[in-house]
Structure 1
Amino acid sequence: METLIVSSVTVALAEIGDKTQLLSLFLATRFRNKWAIIAGILVATLLNHSASAWLGTWLADYLQSRIGQGLIAISFIALGCWLLVPDKDDSEESSLQKYGAFVAATVLFFLAEIGDKTQVATVLLGAQFDSIVWVTLGTTLGMLAANVPVVFAGDYLMRRLPLNGARWTAAAVFIGVGVYELCTHVLLPGS
């Protein structure tokens, strides 16, 4: 249960103001069928994050040493610092639009997630918790929690959400997890 909750909360926070959230807003302005957009986001996230969680659990087998645990901790801290850098809206007209909301959302969201902060977070969460299923479910719930409101009320929400505050909170969570892991598994193991 801890894995599900931590994965959901950290990814939901990391997603606020992220390029995929901006993509959700873009899709919502282009298509009327909001449920098809959400279904596309769900499918893309399940595919992308299950592969990412698998990679994290696979890497965890090789990162059990103090050095490996240190690398995971430092990666959490680095990701927290990366979250402080705001994303830009690089969405533009796509030839996928002619295939409808579901196909456009699935393909564009999947591609936008490759190398994204939330994908990196999913790999790290997979390595930390060693659970493909719970990490994937948690990160997918976090993505939906951050993106579904944007699809339905995007313009209204984007003008009112404190994006900087959310980014700083997410960064603090990731840095805090990294520092905790560094202290408990690397600097002071067994204490």
Structure 2
Amino acid sequence: MEAFLVSTGLVALAEIGDKTQLLAFLLAARFKGRAGTICLGILIATLVNHAGAGALGSWITSLLSPGILRWGLGLGFIAMALWTLVPDKIDEETEGGGRLGLGVLGTTVVAFFLAEMGDKTQIATVALAARFDGALLAVVAGTTAGMMIANVPAVLLGERIAGRVPVRLVHGIAAVVFALLGVATLLGAGRFLGL
């Protein structure tokens, strides 16, 4: 349960103001009245993307010694804390899905999948799966839930809430949580997991 809750909270916080949340706003504006289809597309893209990222994280734990893994994860979480403080912009390649003739669902799946490639929430999923070795399903379910918590309101409420969410404060909170997780990992808080 801890893996699910930590994964959900970290990704939901990190996703506020992220390029995929901005993409959710754009898709909602482009495909008015299709919120359910857009949300389904976000879910599909996130599940596929984060399942692959989580599998990579689990595989990494089988390759590295516990000491190296602990240092790598600890420093990785601290790097995620710093990265969370950098504002995102939507990349051009994630905006072009509508020109491919894929419809609302296909456009959303392709755009979100591409937007998540190398994104901080995908990399966080790799790190969380490595940190909570043996809890791959809980991590993927948690990171997916975090994405949905952040992006469904963006789709449903559109730009009306964009100006009301204190993005810098939320990013600051997420950065603190990532940093604390990194420091705790470096100090050996993961010993009970064999890290």
TM-score tier, shorter chain, comes to over 0.9
- 2:162 match: secondary structure: helix
The 8 Å contact of residues 63 and 69 in structure 1, kept in 2 or not, is answered as no
- 1:125 match: secondary structure: helix
Note the 1:78-117 alignment, pairs <5 A.
78-91=79-92, 92-96=95-99, 98-117=101-120
Find out whether 1:152 has 2:156 as its counterpart. Answer: yes
For 2:6, the equivalent position in structure 1 comes to 6
Alpha-carbon shift at residue 185 of structure 1 (Å): 5.6
Alpha-carbon shift at residue 56 of structure 1 (Å): 0.4
Q: How many residues are aligned here?
A: 187
For 2:21, the equivalent position in structure 1 comes to 21
Note the 1:121-160 alignment, pairs <5 A.
121-130=124-133, 131-160=135-164
The 8 Å contact of residues 46 and 136 in structure 1, kept in 2 or not, is answered as yes
Moved more, 23-32 or 62-71: 62-71
Find out whether 1:165 has 2:165 as its counterpart. Answer: no
Find out whether 1:43 has 2:47 as its counterpart. Answer: no
Alpha-carbon shift at residue 99 of structure 1 (Å): 2.4
Question: Aligned AA for 1:18?
Answer: D
The 8 Å contact of residues 56 and 122 in structure 1, kept in 2 or not, is answered as yes
Gaps of 5+ in 2: none
Deviation per CA, 1:17-38: give whole Å up to 9, x if none. Answer: 0000000011000002110000
For 2:77, the equivalent position in structure 1 comes to 76
The 8 Å contact of residues 50 and 122 in structure 2, kept in 1 or not, is answered as yes
The 8 Å contact of residues 97 and 110 in structure 2, kept in 1 or not, is answered as no
Cα distance in 1 for partners of 2:17, 2:109 equals: 19
Question: Aligned AA for 1:140?
Answer: T
Output the TM-score relative to the length of structure 1: 0.93
Cα distance in 1 for partners of 2:102, 2:67 equals: 49
Output the TM-score relative to the length of structure 2: 0.91
- 2:161 match: secondary structure: helix
